[in-house]
Chains A and B, each alone.
Chain A
Amino acid sequence: MLSLAAHQGVSITEQNIEDSPLAIRGLTVSYGQKPAVFSVDMTVQPGAMTAIIGPNGAGKSTLLKAALGIVKPLSGQVTVFGAPLEKQRARIAYVPQRASVDWDFPTRVIDVVLMGLSRQLGLLGRIRGRHMARAMECLNRVGMHDFANRQIGQLSGGQQQRVFLARALAQDADLYLLDEPFAGVDAATEKAIIAVLKSLKQDGKTVVVVHHDLATVTDYFDHVFLINTRKVAEGPVAQAFTAETLQSAYGGRLATAQIDQISRALG
């Protein structure tokens, strides 16, 4: 039933807003006169790895940014672990899209990772040996410990992405939100990042990733959220990531051959 795609998937009940790491209700965000995200509900499952997918300009990153309070929504509510966002800042870590910072900024790799400890350090707390050790440990997890003293702009794109992941790890959050972490990175980086994300999941953390590569969705994620301005589908990969939902989300923009290929891969 194609027509029901928008409203299928995991049914939403009032009580699971309370337990969801990230619950969004009636979110509309617009830049100017055209909503980028329209009336979207989302309920992220705890301990899952969820991919947000959809065509270009479908509002994937906007959804994430509104969830984090970086852009102001026109309407809608966001709760994080059952409480308003502001109260739960410490439990969220965010990895922005790579293009959003000044790469020429005078700062070293290790300084960037230490930024992840800023809540812990407060305004004037001194950086001590244990903070340094924690930052190095996070760099180690993404395989970047040899680059600790490099200026951030001197790294390759993939290496930069891993440093930002290390910063998020240093935050020691319960919910990790990543905006297109695999965009334009090398294969080694992609492997390193996905290994870290899977280990996070094993530790019981919740991971939400804006993702653009349909071919790897089934390998990497267990839940998907399909969006094209409106929510198209939400749920476990097996149920929500189907030829029908993809057709519905991508419309004419996804070649039929591509859909066939994906649905074959899905079995």
Chain B
Amino acid sequence: MSGEEFVPLSLTPLLIGTFAAIACALPGNFLVLRKQALIGDAISHVVLPGIVVAFILTGAISTWPMMLGAAGAAILAVIMIEAVRRLGQIEAGAAMGVVFTTMFAAGVLLLEQTDTSSVHLDVEHALYGNLESLIWLDATGWPSVLDPVALAGLPPELPRIALTLLGVSLFIWLFWRPLKISTFDEGFARTVGIRTGALGMALVITAAIAAVAAFDAVGSIIVIAMFICPPAAARMMTNRLETQIGWSVVFAILSAVTGYILAGYGPLWLGAADAVSAAGMIATMSGLILAGAAIWGPCRTRAGAPNTA
């Protein structure tokens, strides 16, 4: 395919999809190891009520209030889950189930109650995004990548997700050691003075930010696939955390790129006329990669700890 076609139509969605996948996979590694994988599930479900509330408050579809609304909803959800879990002495899974379904229901209700028919705010969009529409019309080919005028017309999602990826990476890099220690052995971490509660919260908030930034591109449900599948597949490849993170990034990129290409061109190869959902295809690919790793991965089974069942 020529640059004239690829750069305006495919480069930006591809980059956005890839960045979103990596930004979610990085914290996902720790969530999976901490058996908090479903925090990603909970966060992604409450993004919808967050943006609806932001829309009601501001009356307009503008990016930053919506991002803030979504992030606020995610943090509120995490706090509510903790509160329900502790106050009601309910196991974490059930506490999550109570909170995120309720918030989601509230979001749908608010959406129905508000007149959003004039603007582009609908449940489906929030659930499965529209990666395909994030094109770069100002580009004319590869030279545009260096052309400031064309660059000004980049879809704003691209710098946003790039920035998020940078922030997430920075967080993981900066807190690598405490994250690793407290994930492995929380009791020990506390005895060496690591504030495990605050650190856990920071991790969840980082994940929430990644989810919010990514949901625009891939939709809120499919974000979960990015949180869980690449790290889970990476888990089957190695027994070292450093290597696992590396694999998870590779798998995230692989899912995003193959998913995007298959969604766009797969149907054409099969003789159909139209593309299918790129976000859905990315999730599907990440699932296939996970399946492959689960069947062939060198470290797919549990280590033979003598005292684990």
Contacts and interface: CB of A to CB of B under 8 A. Distances in A.
B and A form one assembly: yes
Interface stretch (B80-88, B239-247, B268-276): B239-247
A118 B235 CA distance: 24
Interface in B250-293: none
Contacts of B194: 118
Contacts, number: 94
Given A104-B302, A108-B239, A118 B192 contact: yes
A179 B235 CA distance: 31
A68 B244 contact: no
B303 A123 contact: no
Given A106-B239, A171-B192, A153 B305 contact: yes
A156 B306 contact: yes
B118 interface: no
Nearest to A89: B193
A134 interface: no
Contacts of A171: 192
A157 interface: yes
Interface residues of A, number: 39
A107 interface: yes
B33 A105 contact: yes
Given A107-B240, A157-B307, A123 B193 contact: no
Contacts of A108: 239-240
A107 B243 CA distance: 10
A68 B304 CA distance: 31
A94 B308 contact: no
A89 B191 contact: yes
Contacts of A96: 185, 187-188
Nearest to B308: A103
Contact of A69 (B178, B190, B306): B190
Interface residues of B, number: 31
Interface in A94-141: 94, 96, 98-108, 111-112, 115, 118-119, 121, 123-124
B184 A101 contact: yes
Contact of A98 (B244, B302, B307): B307
B102 interface: no
B116 interface: no
A28 B194 CA distance: 24
A106 B192 CA distance: 21
A161 to B, nearest CB: 11
Contact of A104 (B174, B178, B180, B305): B305
B183 interface: yes
Interface in B221-246: 235, 238-241, 243-244
A77 interface: no
Nearest to A119: B192
B250 to A, nearest CB: 16
B306 A157 contact: yes
B303 A153 contact: yes
Contact of A106 (B185, B193, B241): B241
A151 interface: yes
A219 interface: no
A86 interface: yes
Interface of A: 65, 68-70, 86, 89, 92-94, 96, 98-108, 111-112, 115, 118-119, 121, 123-124, 151-154, 156-157, 160, 167, 171, 184
Interface of B: 33, 174-175, 177-178, 180-181, 183-185, 187-188, 190-194, 235, 238-241, 243-244, 302-308
Cβ-closest 5 pairs across A and B: A153-B303, A103-B305, A151-B239, A153-B305, A89-B193
Given A106-B240, A107-B241, A115-B181, 6 more contacts: A94-B187, A101-B188, A103-B307, A104-B302, A123-B177, A153-B304
